Amino acid sequence: MPITHYIDSSVLGFSKLQTLLDEDYKIALSEEASAEIDKARSYLNLKQKESKHPIYGVNTGFGSLCNIKINEDKLTFLQENLVMSHACGTGDRVEDEIVKLMLLLKIQSLSYGYSGVSIKLVERLIHFYNEGIFPVIYEQGSLGASGDLAPLAHLALPLLGKGEVIIDGKIESAKILQERYGWEPLVLQSKEGLALLNGTQFMSAHLLRNVLYSRRLMKWADVIAAVSIDAFDCNMSPFDDLVHQVRPHKGQIETAQTILKLLHGSEIAVNQKQNVQDPYSFRCVPQVHGATRDALRYIEQTLLTEINSVTDNPNVFVDEDKIISGGNFHGQPLAIAADFMAIAMSEIGNISERRIYQLVSGLRGLPTFLVSSPGLNSGFMIPQYTAASIVSQNKQLCTPASVDSIVSSNGQEDHVSMGANAVTKLNRVIDNIEKILAIELFNASQAMHFRRPLKSSEAVESILDAYKEAVPVVREDKVMASEIQKSIRFLRNHKI
């Protein structure tokens, strides 16, 4: 029997989200969530009949057309037209992994009962999630305010039997859903199209994907730095707790403690050193990695708030007898967090490349370019070039998107967050960090070969033994791209 996670008002945290993804949970509405959704929909139906004034998003146009009232018999057309007209995405297709997160986060947001949608609509989204049916969504099109309108329109299209979906890895017309699953296209009620399109789920899902990835990458960053520290025959004194207690940034202290733990028992670490000081890329690992850790704490808290929030508009407050048009769809918190994360994580790649450079420079008793016969063999010369190229690209990708804004909708939407651009740039930065770290481990493992017979710690030697099974020591020139790919796969698959 599949394990079920019930959507309710409890906080959806990162550990739970990782479990939902890793163990392929099915999801369902709790009784509490069902009751809240029904309550809001019933209230909205009643207000729609009783009110003599237009209610934005319920019986009006949208954006700069908000003052145009729509007749009762046209409300379904209004919502369907909204979805179709806003499906203007272009560019690369969004990964299935992120679309799955978008579905989950949209369901979570609608479940709180402040959106006025029907149970039927939310349950159809749940069917998509549980059956692994992913609407085809494109990366470009959202301004990150009024919500992620274009990508969320593509998320909504298959509910109407329109657009395309991914089923078992293949792109199919959404019309197949009725034939294969018996799902008739939904007839949207008032406000339902707007509730689907308003929201920050494109930005949130991308940021969430990168937060979950970065948690793993930060563990690897410390492990790989520890390998490089021994490979470069570094002093251990910069990691002494006394140094960090007099400048007690939390991330700095944590990183220094991790490095000491990883290198505990290393023969290389306790060996007499000829060098009094080490380059900053080794000596300042606690300060640099630690600063990124502290930045990630802010980013995680911002994201945690967002994914447990209501981000559509207007919001329905039944107990207070109010329907309020506000701006919870505005992505500025996420845009700033994504830009901050790109900057913080890019520094992990930046310092990693500097360690790579030092390892191939023919210093500390290591051969030039980490190969026994330099000249005849180029050895590890060009992997450093590759890392440098990727680091440079990350610097370019770190130009903030959140400082930009372009007026839209006839001036009604006169400030937007550009958060969608921020998170898609962030995707590339995080993927690049993985590549850089994989190249560093490739270099550090090779450098350790020249430290024998001395050994590192039990923790480091265990990782190196597993690594060399996948990426053996390079004894003469070979196609290095293949070895780098093996190294990347090792980082993804090896448990740390």
DSSP 10-36: S---HHHHHHHHHTT-EEEE-HHHHHH
Local confidence pLDDT in tens for the 496 residues of the chain: 578 999 998 899 999 999 998 898 999 999 999 999 999 999 999 988 887 777 776 777 666 666 667 677 777 788 899 999 999 999 999 999 999 999 999 999 999 999 999 999 999 999 999 999 999 999 999 999 988 999 999 999 999 999 999 999 999 999 999 999 999 999 999 899 999 999 999 999 999 999 999 999 999 999 999 999 999 999 999 999 999 999 999 999 999 999 999 999 999 999 998 898 999 999 999 999 999 999 999 999 999 999 999 999 999 999 999 999 999 999 999 999 999 999 999 999 999 999 999 999 999 999 999 998 888 889 999 999 999 999 999 999 999 999 999 998 887 888 999 999 999 999 999 999 999 999 999 999 999 999 999 999 999 999 999 999 999 999 999 999 999 999 999 999 999 8
Return the pLDDT at 227: 98
Q: Cα–Cα–Cα angle for 243, 247, 252, nearest 5°?
A: 80
- Write phi, then psi, for 316 (nearest 5 degrees): -105, 115
What is the full DSSP assignment across 84-129? HHH---EEEEPPHHHHHHHHHHHHHHHTTS-S---HHHHHHHHHHH
Question: If one looks up domain 4-199 in CATH, what number appears?
Answer: 1.10.275.10
What strands lie across the sheet with 134-135, from one edge to the other?
134-135, 164-167, 170-173
Residue with tokens 């290095």: 480
Q: What is the rounded CA–CA span in Å between residue 419 and residue 410?
A: 21
Buried (b) or exposed (e) across 415-437, using 16+ Cβ within 10 A?
A: ebbbbbbbbbbbbebbebbbbbb
Helix (H, G, I), strand (E, B) or coil at 186: coil
Question: Do 225 and 210 contact (CB within 8 A), yes or no?
Answer: no
CA 154 to chain centre: 20
CATH number for 206-493: choose from 1.20.200.10, 4.10.640.10, 1.10.530.10, 3.50.50.60. Answer: 1.20.200.10
Instruction: Give Cα separations from 7 to 4, 11, 297, 307, 408 (angstroms).
Output: 10, 10, 25, 13, 35
Q: Which class for 25: exposed (0-12), middle (13-18), buried (19 or more C-beta within 10 A)? A: middle
Domain ranges of the chain: 4-199, 206-493
Question: Do 249 and 282 contact (CB within 8 A), yes or no?
Answer: no
Return the pLDDT at 496: 86
- Write phi, then psi, for 164 (nearest 5 degrees): -130, 155
Return the pLDDT at 66: 62
**Number of other residues whose CB lies within 10 A of the CB of residue 243:** 15
Return the pLDDT at 63: 62
Catalytic residue positions, numbered: 56
Start-to-end CA span in the chain (Å)? 30
- Write phi, then psi, for 239 (nearest 5 degrees): -105, 0
